[in-house]
Amino acid sequence: MLTYNIIQAIILVLLGLATLYIFIFSVAGLFYRQPAIANTRIFKKIAVLIPGYKEDDVIIEVARLALLQQYPKDCFDVVIIADSFQKETLVALKALRIKLVEVSFEKSTKSKALNSAMASLSANYEIAVVLDADNVMAMDFLSKMNSAFASGYTAVQGHRTAKNTNNSWAVLDAVSEEINNNIFRKGHRVLGLSSAIIGSGMAFKYDYFKSLMSTVTAVGGFDKEIELKMLSEGHTIQYLDDALVYDEKIQKSDAFGNQRRRWLSAQFHYFKRDFLYALKDLLLKGNVDYFDKAIQFIQPPRILLLGAVLFFGFGFPVLNTVLDIQNNFFIGWVAVIICCVSALLISIPFKFFNIKTLSALAGLPKGMFLMLVSLLKIKGANKTFIHTKHSANIQVK
């Protein structure tokens, strides 16, 4: 029974630490206040960079909507980076008031597309905004980013939120995004740490971003790589909760699994690569931000953490009773379950507390299973370009 208790203790400690991490930041996120940023009449030149791979179904509408920003027309360019688009799509794009950069690679990646585009652009941009090919900016997004950079920020993550909640998978994906917004963006900023970036809906000082991207070698997870480099250099990443970018949420279970596999693989890759460097910076330079980011990458996904906490949190006490084992773990399991569930619930916006979300919860066990399968299949996923196709019939709610 000693071995059994040791195993139970190890699992309890590991799940307890992971739960404590998200609980602290989820509670902190409740105290988030938008940073005071004054409006400015000085308009910086902005490049809105939209890389797309075979995104013929959505890119024309996304480009048209991007042009409607409430920002001086001569102060921003929409740059569509077209990788493997159809000829008809290219013709339609050329008819719009955009800059079209056509690229082709033996192995496509988002970082290659961005680097090729910036190498070909000649205008003196001051801000780079990066979107995905399905993203739609709120009409005041560029104005809010302009004001933020006038306040001296180097990098700003906008509030990426759901464009659609048309099925259960989309609802679960939308809820997951908002949970992460509260924990890894709001909560981190409240406690003085950098916001996590997401790969889209984000903005940077243009020259800095161009220089930073030139060093990126990632196939998948380029945002993770630049995030770690920024924090190791001592930069702070700001978050603007009211700067909205609408993002298409997952429509099918296979897309859910593929997307998570790519994310998990990138996180593990960069944790292994940077952990010791981050620990060294913590001890020698007091760089808490960099170390926290490395630790963040080894955190289990929230849906998988919840599944593990519920499985072991109920399983071990039941097994202890059946085997008539007397130990002091019961209170620990109860505390971990309460903290984990509470951390997730308080991170969900009130608008999701409805019948539609309750119905979507029926798919949660399948989501947990897909996450577990993704975890077992992550080897090499960050070395392969995994494309998530977007839908043409998805409109901003």
Q: Which domains does the chain have, with CATH numbers?
A: 2-30+269-383 (no CATH), 46-252 (3.90.550.10)
pLDDT in tens, 29-48: 999 998 888 788 899 999 99
User: In this prediction, what percent of the chain has a pLDDT beyond 70?
Assistant: 91
The average confidence (pLDDT) of the chain is: 90
pLDDT > 70? residue 397: no
Least confident range from 19-23, 40-44, 260-264, 326-330: namely 260-264
Q: What average pLDDT does this structure show over 144-167?
A: 94
pLDDT of residue 183: 98
* Mean pLDDT of the 131-135 span: 95
Who's near 370: CB < 8 A, 6+ residues apart? 253, 256, 257, 260
Share of residues in the chain with pLDDT > 90 (%): 70
State the pLDDT at residue 106.
Answer: 83
> Residue 380 pLDDT more than 70?
no
Mean pLDDT, residues 325-337 taken together: 91
> How high is the pLDDT of residue 169?
86
Lowest mean pLDDT among 15-19, 291-295, 387-391: 387-391
- List, in order, residues 6 or more apart from 157 with CB less than 8 Å away: 185, 195, 196, 197, 198, 201, 202, 237, 238, 239, 240
Q: Please name the amino acid found at residue 101.
A: V
Q: In the structure, what pLDDT confidence band is assigned to residue 78 with cuts at 50, 70 and 90?
A: very high
8 Å CB contact between 40 and 149: no
